[in-house]
Amino acid sequence: AAIEHVQPWVSLFANYATSFNPSTSQLRLDGSLVPSPISKGTDVGIRFYLFKDRVNVSFTRYEGQETAQPFEINFTNNIQDIALANKSGDTSADGMNQRGFPIVPRQAFDLRDRKNNGYEVEITANLTRHWRFTANAAKAEGYQTDAWRDTRAFLEKWKPVMRQAVIDSGNVFNASDLPVSDGTSSSVSPDATTARNAWLNIFRTQFPNIVSDPQKIPGLTEATANLFTDFQFSEGRLKGLRIGGGVNYRGRKVIAFRGGDTIQDPAQPNNFSSSGAIDDPNADAFTPVYSDPYVTATTTMSYTFRLKNNRSVALQLRVANLLDNSTPVYTGAT
């Protein structure tokens, strides 16, 4: 880290840092432990000290990258459903596929590399001796690269075997290459429907969004801002009372991608089943689904009682979500 005081009222700063997280007990698809992710980052900026240092303003530009960051695979249960699917005629409670398709950990993690950059601005001010103010805003970009490396390799290797296991359970693949019941209810496996639905979720909903090229990081909030101010009364009957309030803005957030979007097949205008749908050419794995921005407000109040021997007691009240915002906060979507 380095700081250069260009003038008494302005300084430049820069910082470079590296770090790693020790390997944890998180499992990969093959049952091995995830490796230790390694990261590095830089930030540079300028800071102003204004109005006799009562107001500080800073601007920061940052960049960072991380390798082998783990993230949870959200459809390992579907992979297990196919592995545990009995073949037709097998009604046992503990059966499984007869094709050698392995059972993966119920909770498994994949790896991705990540790059991010953005800008931040922050203002802190003592407007008067008893009036404080702070505000900040940030704009962020973040991309994952070489993501889903384990999952991509796993599905490429095992997809033909998984397909055969779905067929063995009492399904066939139609002209649209989608699994449907083979119609022989007397001999199908009790797991036929589960295996069929698992295949559809993996290869029709999830797999189209699994890419190795740079893709926005799921969960990325692209813009944030916060403002807060408070004032303390120093005389009169309200002496010792401090009141304050603020707002928090959260911009749109990436919650999913549209790689699995479909449209009605023009050649089958009256077929409203899954077999009558085709890929939407206007959306792909790089088209994000965003949640809407939202704003919350907070108010605070405190009162300090002065006691003997320089002691004091403070009572504090904080009302979060003052405007009763009930907008859903999405963490993902399919």
pLDDT digits (tens, 9 = 90+) for 73-92: 999 999 999 999 999 888 88
Query: What's the confidence (pLDDT) of residue 24?
Result: 82
* Whether the Cβ atoms of residue 299 and residue 322 lie closer than 8 Å to each other: yes
- Average pLDDT of 209-229? 95
pLDDT at 185: 67
Contact 208, 260 (CB under 8 A): yes
pLDDT of residue 190 exceeding 70: yes
Distance (Å, whole) CA 298 – CA 246: 5
With beta carbons less than 8 A apart as the criterion, state whether 202 and 179 touch. Answer: no
DSSP state of 132: E
What was the pLDDT predicted at 105?
A: 94
How many helices and strands, by DSSP H and E, does the chain display? 3, 17
Residue 91 to residue 110: CA distance in whole angstroms? 34
| Cβ–Cβ under 8 Å, residues 2 and 17 | no
pLDDT at 186 (0 to 100): 62
Q: What is the pLDDT of residue 28?
A: 95
pLDDT, one tens digit per residue, over 28-71 is 999 999 999 999 999 999 999 999 999 999 999 999 999 999 99
pLDDT of res. 240 = 86
Please list the helix, strand and coil fractions of the chain in percent, rounded to the nearest 5, in that order: 15, 45, 40
Task: Identify the three-state secondary structure at position 288.
Answer: strand
Q: What pLDDT shows up at residue 275?
A: 74
Chain centroid offset of residue 179 CA: 31
Q: Taking 80 as the threshold, does the pLDDT of residue 333 lie above it?
A: no
User: Among 107-111, 190-194, 212-216, 297-301, which stretch is predicted with the lowest mean pLDDT?
Assistant: 190-194
HSE value, Cβ hemisphere, 13 Å, CA-based, for 134: 7
Given pLDDT bands bounded at 50, 70 and 90, which one contains residue 187?
low
Instruction: Give 265-310 pLDDT, tens digit per residue.
Output: 888 888 887 778 888 999 999 999 999 999 999 999 999 888 888 8
Residues 6+ apart with CB under 8 A from 93: none
Q: What percent of the chain has pLDDT over 90?
A: 75
Res 276: pLDDT: 81
H or E element in which residue 79 lies = helix 76-83
What distance separates the 2 farthest-apart alpha carbons in the chain? 88
Spatial distance between the Cα atoms of 190 and 57, rounded to a whole number of angstroms: 66
| pTM exceeds cut of 0.85 | no
Nearest alpha carbon to residue 47 among 117, 118, 121, 127: 121
How far apart CA 292 and CA 82 sit, in angstroms, is: 36
Q: Is the pLDDT of residue 334 over 70?
A: no
